[in-house]
Amino acid sequence: MLKMHTNPRDNWLQEVSEFCIATLEDLNDKAQEGEYVSPKDQTMTDLCMGYLFLLSVCNTEGLLDPSKIQNSIDKNITIH
């Protein structure tokens, strides 16, 4: 079940995390059943694994602590 946070950003991070976990489970099942794993499947696996790894590092190191994030991160900024 989704844990509701007071900060909408935290809810979004959790939702993406749950999406990645479900996607990895589906792709793992596909591979275990001997189905063809396409390059797009592999890319999605890498993307999800990378996201979960970085989220874990950020949580472990306290990098997502609101008191440590500068106010500028909440501004509407487009990064190219």
Residue of 22, 20, 25 lying closest to 47 (CA atoms) = 20
Q: Name the pTM for this structure.
A: 0.72
Segment 26-31 shows an average pLDDT of: 97
Predicted confidence (pLDDT) at residue 9 exceeds the cutoff of 60: yes
pLDDT at 51: 97
Using one digit for the tens of pLDDT, what is the confidence trace for 42-80?
999 999 999 999 999 998 988 887 776 665 455 666 655
pLDDT at 61: 87
Tokens for 68?
């440590």
Segment 22-51 shows an average pLDDT of: 97
